[in-house]
Amino acid sequence: MKNLKRYFNWKDLCLILGLFLCSFIPLLFFRQPTNPSVIAVLKVHGQEIQRFDLTKSAGETYHYQSENGESNLIEINHRRIRIKEANCRDHVCETVGWIDQPGQTIVCLPHQLVLEIQTGGDKHGSIY
């Protein structure tokens, strides 16, 4: 302890403490909203079919069926969404599993179906 007193005085400790406290200033400007509205957008052939509010939905399913017989069963539960069943050839969209963060997508290429999560005010998707 005596060796530390030889290298640091009270002014040094005040400077270190001040710099440490200043490191938290960006949190005031760049923090995320506490409870943003989270929306899942279902698009088929580039056209929006349905919007799901994940903050209000729990334990729901939505069945999409096209005129060609293409079918996807979408499940919503606890602020997350997934494609539970699909009658496409490869079933890759089912293996993606649950998504819950803005910007995440599930794509069913054979059906040209896109399921994307966005924040409530974001109509055109997020740019990263």
Please report, in tens digits, the pLDDT of each residue of the chain (128 residues total): 567 667 778 888 899 999 999 998 888 887 766 667 889 999 999 999 999 998 887 789 999 998 888 999 999 998 899 999 999 999 999 999 999 999 999 999 999 999 999 987 655 544 44
In sequence order, the β-bridge partners of residue 122 are none
Q: How confident is the model at residue 92, as a pLDDT?
A: 93
Share of the chain above pLDDT 90, in %: 55
Which has the closest alpha carbon to 123: 22, 65, 20, 48?
Answer: 48
Q: How much is the pTM? A: 0.67
CATH code of the domain made up of 38-119: 2.60.320.10
pLDDT one-digit tens code per residue, 87-101: 999 999 999 999 999
- In 2-99, beta strands by DSSP E: 38-44, 47-53, 60-65, 71-77, 80-86
Instruction: Provide the residue ranges of all domains of the chain, joining segments of one domain with +.
Output: 38-119
pLDDT in tens, 5-23: 677 788 888 999 999 999 9
- Residue 26: its pLDDT value, please? 87
Residue 112, judged by CB atoms within 10 A of its CB (0-12, 13-18, 19+), counts as middle
